[in-house]
């Protein structure tokens, strides 16, 4: 028998105190992450190590945006190369012989343009997440200054 918060005896015969498989693993991982944050920050206050966690998320998001911008540059370079190749093929005297190739290259160019548009949309979404995380940080800092 255990005692509840209200000091009423509670039977624990049919209560499983061990979390089930994946929940148990998630709980253990969560505790390890919190322990690591405490070790890194030297702080035991949840607000302090939560701040470090959010700052890390912002850093990861910014790194992701930088990677997407690199991909955009790569795709833009490829689009430029495809434009030159298409123009050269269209200007050739035997255009009828290379017509299918020109159509395939135009499809490739369109695919790259779509990819650039998708990367740009993704960057906007991640920038919005960063903004939200920055607001969370401001709120945590305000709470820390109040308390």
The pLDDT tens digits for 17-57 are 444 556 677 777 767 766 776 676 666 667 777 888 899 99
Read off the pLDDT of residues 81-127 as tens digits, 9 standing for 90 and up.
Answer: 999 999 999 998 887 889 999 999 999 999 999 999 999 999 999 99
Task: Name the strand (E) or helix (H) holding 10.
Answer: strand 9-10
* Contact between 130 and 62 (Cβ < 8 Å): yes
User: Given phi > 0 = left and psi -120 to 50 = alpha, else beta, which region is 92?
Assistant: beta
Q: Residue 9's beta-bridge partner residues?
A: 3
| Residue 6 forms part of a structural domain | no
| Residue 73 forms part of a structural domain | yes
> Considering the entire predicted model, what is its pTM?
0.67
| Residue 1 forms part of a structural domain | no
| Residue 15 forms part of a structural domain | no
* Domain housing 76: 44-146
> Cα–Cα distance between 138 and 23 in angstroms, integer?
32
* Number of domains present in the structure of the chain: 1
| Residue 107 forms part of a structural domain | yes
| Residue 39 forms part of a structural domain | no
* Contact between 90 and 102 (Cβ < 8 Å): yes
| Residue 52 forms part of a structural domain | yes
Q: Which of 64, 62, 39 is nearest to 52 (CA)?
A: 39
> Cα–Cα distance between 122 and 64 in angstroms, integer?
10
| Residue 131 forms part of a structural domain | yes
């Amino acid at each position: 028998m255990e005692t509840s918060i209200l000091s009423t005896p509670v039977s624990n015969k049919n209560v499983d105190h061990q979390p089930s498989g994946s929940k148990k693993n998630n709980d253990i991982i969560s505790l390890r992450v919190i322990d690591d944050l405490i070790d890194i920050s030297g702080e035991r206050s949840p607000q302090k190590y939560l701040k470090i966690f959010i700052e890390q998320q912002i850093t990861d998001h910014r790194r992701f945006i930088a990677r997407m911008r690199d991909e955009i540059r790569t795709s833009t370079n490829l689009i430029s190369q495809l434009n030159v190749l298409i123009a050269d093929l269209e200007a050739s005297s035997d255009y009828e012989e290379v017509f299918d190739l020109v159509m395939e290259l135009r499809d490739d160019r369109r695919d790259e343009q779509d990819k650039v548009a998708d990367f740009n949309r993704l960057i906007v979404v991640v920038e919005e997440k960063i903004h939200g995380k920055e607001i969370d940080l401001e709120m945590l800092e305000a709470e820390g200054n109040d308390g």
